[in-house]
Amino acid sequence: MPSTASEILDKAKAALGADVVSGTTDHDDASIVVPRERIVEVLSKLRDDPQFLFEQLIDVCGVDYPDRPERFEIVYTLLSVSLNQRIRVKVATDEGTPVPSAVGVYPSANWFEREAWDLYGVFFADHPDLRRILTDYGFDGHPMRKDFPLTGYVELRYDPDQRRVVYEPVKLTQDFRTFDFTSPWEAITGIQLPGDEKAVKPPYWEKPK
């Protein structure tokens, strides 16, 4: 029978000791926060220890918290096929401090870390081939950061005169519009509108007043 999230968290704290800065359980999943510089050792321990056997790295993703001193959180999702259990491992970093690459522990981290670098600008030290993977050549900035403009900086189009695709600064024909998606039936209270008197009909045998 697979261990519960609380049991996995307790085992991780006991096995990793001071490497676990904090830990939580949410939606029946265990999550631990570890020091950035210890991520490779922690992942190796979780992969090789018989009580964990997290053989697969399912995902590496980034989260941006602009108000934090270390604004980026890198989340590693591990799966144990043998024991049917999973755990999330998190580290924090800023715009200039690299995170040790996990490619040596999990080869699947290669493309995941390239995505995090491309979209968030998080640098992974000792990565074998850290290049952009989703954005175009010469792309300026990292589009998943919360301070990146929704429109981007440039747009591309085909120029029939030059017979090629050209890049130009973004030009909006109108500013973004603000939409109020609140239902009028929920938002309007205490206001009598024409026709409201018909909402409650008297019985057919009673004459309307």
Q: What's the pLDDT at 136?
A: 83
Q: Domain boundaries in the chain?
A: 5-198
Q: What is the DSSP string of the chain?
A: -PPPHHHHHHHHHHHHGGG--EEEEETTEEEEE--GGGHHHHHHHHHH-TTT---EEEEEEEEE-TTSSS-EEEEEEEEETTTTEEEEEEEEE-SS--EE--TTT-TTHHHHHHHHHHHH---EET-TT---SSSPTT--S-TTSTTS-TT-SEEEEEETTTTEEEEEE---SSPPPP-----HHHH--S---TTGGGSSPPPTTSPP-
CA dihedral 126, 132, 134, 136 (to 10 degrees): 180
> CATH for 5-198?
3.30.460.80
Kindly give the confidence (pLDDT) of every residue in the chain, 209 residues in length, as a single tens digit, with 9 standing for 90 and above.
778 999 999 999 999 999 999 999 998 899 999 999 999 999 999 999 999 999 999 999 999 999 999 999 999 999 999 999 999 999 999 999 999 999 999 999 999 999 999 999 999 999 999 999 999 878 889 999 999 988 888 888 899 999 999 988 888 777 777 766 666 666 556 666 667 666 666 666 666 55
| pLDDT score at 186 | 60
**pLDDT score at 196:** 67
pLDDT given at position 177: 72
